[in-house]
Amino acid sequence: MAGFLNGRTAVITGSTSGLGLGYARALAAEGCAIMLNGFGEAAEIETLRADLETEYGVTVFYNNADMSVADQVFDMIKDADRRLGKIDILINNAGMQHRAPTESFPIDVWQEMLAVNLTAPFLATQAVLPQMKARDWGRIINTASTNALVASPNVSGYTATKHGILGLTKVVALETIETGVTCNAICPGTVRTNLSEHRIDTFAEQKGVPKEEALADYLKQKQPYHQPMGRFITVEEIAAAAVYLCSDAGAAMRGAAFTVDGGWTAR
């Protein structure tokens, strides 16, 4: 398919569903070849991979690396380099969430969250930077969060790792400032993805009503601070930010926290 990313390639972690899949669709629509990564049923993922190829006319591969395992992160990058021929774009999107007060936050969950949300993006970035610098072109995009900028109670692990990923973004941006490689973070507000579905399910159970009936109240309890505009942000709205960052128009974006949060951090 014709597009400004024809001939470009991208590795997108956590891209078999939700926001990562939205990134994959948006980049594929511009002609970018894709390496998917994430969890799910093998048959469903293969169908998804094949459908993306058919719909957008680009090459799509899949690697099942677990982002909590360092060696698998390195192996995924090697596999993508071999099968795609190069890696022009890296989107570090895989992430996990857990809610608990700080005093009772499980240490094993804390360690896993550090591995997935922060260490894996560091390792993947470390692995792709040499070839991006050699070609003097590359785009590294980290999915952060509004929790990279502000805090919320009961999400100490998530908030700490997202603050960390924004710090990593800024350092990499400065280290590549005189090259054609850029590094930025996208900071979404409340997007309805798989990561948020369990919270909506829990809220509906607590209210004792069907899930769809609970959605309006779920958003209201996030107002006025978390979701002041009163609706979920769409995956497509977030993915459009990634498309911009990958374009020539986004070349001056360096170390930015690209915030798409429905006004959450405006107050």
| Residue ranges per structural domain of the chain | 9-189+234-260, 190-232
- Please give the pLDDT value at position 214: 75
Q: Which of 130, 161, 129 is nearest to 144 (CA)?
A: 161
End-to-end CA distance of the chain: 42
Q: Classify domain 9-189+234-260 at the CATH class level.
A: alpha beta
How far is 3 from 6, CA to CA, in rounded Å?
Answer: 6
- Please give the pLDDT value at position 193: 75
- CB 12, CB 38: distance < 8 Å: no
Q: What does pTM read for this prediction?
A: 0.92
How far is 170 from 257, CA to CA, in rounded Å?
Answer: 9
How far is 1 from 56, CA to CA, in rounded Å?
Answer: 6
- Please give the pLDDT value at position 217: 74
- Give the active site residues: 158
Q: Which of 179, 152, 148, 174 is nearest to 161 (CA)?
A: 148
- Please give the pLDDT value at position 191: 87
pLDDT by residue, tens only, the chain of 267 residues: 579 999 999 999 999 999 999 999 999 999 999 999 999 999 999 999 999 999 999 999 999 999 999 999 999 999 999 999 999 999 999 999 999 999 999 999 999 999 999 999 999 999 999 999 999 999 999 999 999 999 989 999 999 999 999 999 999 999 999 999 999 999 999 888 766 777 787 778 888 888 777 777 777 665 555 666 778 899 999 999 999 999 999 999 999 999 999 888 887
- Please give the pLDDT value at position 206: 82
